[in-house]
Copies of this chain bind each other. A is one copy, B any other.
Amino acid sequence: MAMKKSEGRVTIEKQVEDRRTSIGSQRNPASEEAILKAAQDILLEGGLPAFSIEAVARRAKAGKPTIYRWWPSKAALLLDVYHRQKDGVPHPDTGDIRKDLSLFLGGLIGFWRDGGGAIFRSIIAEAQSDPAALQALQAYALSRCRQSGVILERGQARGEVRADIDPALLIELFSSFAWNRLLTSRLDVSDEEIEQIVSAVVDGVAVRK
């Protein structure tokens, strides 16, 4: 992406090496792209400790004020970076609530374990000190729970799931578990563990009388 940026301007005069300058009184998409790319790369390579506005500017060959102009805080940049990744967590519809929930939970954990979690971890951490990030995180989490609640709603429609269950709340319970494992770097969850959790919740912990 970042390489493409000068491609359209090659013929216009002599082009000073590889420098990216203003394109006038408007936001420069090449800069935005370079900054987001740099931010993402830094996060994936060095994690949150390596992530600083300074480092992003350096790597993106951008001026710090350019970053501050468009992203008011570290958290805003983090969120933008996160939104770029399509998160690939599915809302399966196999017709079997056990399978659906196992696939959902396993998918979420797997996505995070395979590299997708680093940035989200950073956002959660940032949200503990930055109120703006916190609000964004709240909104994001809520909408995700609602979206994923569809799994249970389908189960309810099929008469497979109790009608008095709040789908979003239950999804929150499952994804909380994934959060916990993400935040404690214990994402190596076996299929058995996932199935045990799903089974416990679906069938109930209590002995059937």
A196 to B166, CA, bound (A): 8
Q: For this complex, into which size category does the number of interface residues on chain A fall? A: 35 or more
Chain B interface: which of A3-11, A34-42, A54-62, A176-184? A176-184
Point out the residues of chain B lying under 8 angstroms from A121, CB to CB.
Answer: 128
Cβ of A115 under 8 Å from chain B: no
Copies of chain A in the complex? 4
Chain B interface: which of A12-20, A83-91, A106-114, A154-162? A154-162
A205 to B141, CA, bound (A): 22
Is A129 touching B184 in the complex (CB atoms < 8 A)?
no
Q: Given that A180-B172, A205-B170, A207-B160 are known contacts, is A48 also in contact with B128, CB under 8 Å in the complex?
A: yes
How far apart are A22's CB and chain B's nearest CB, in angstroms? Answer: 11
A196 to B168, CA, bound (A): 12
Cβ of A186 under 8 Å from chain B: yes
Starting from the known contacts A49-B130, A173-B176, 16 additional A-B residue pairs (CB-CB under 8 Å) come to A48-B128, A48-B129, A122-B128, A124-B183, A125-B128, A141-B180, A141-B184, A170-B200, A172-B180, A173-B177, A176-B179, A176-B180, A183-B183, A200-B201, A201-B201, A203-B204
User: Residues of A with Cβ closer than 8 Å to B?
Assistant: 47-49, 97, 121-122, 124-130, 134, 137-138, 141, 152, 155, 159-162, 164-166, 169-170, 172-173, 175-177, 179-180, 183-186, 193, 196-197, 200-208
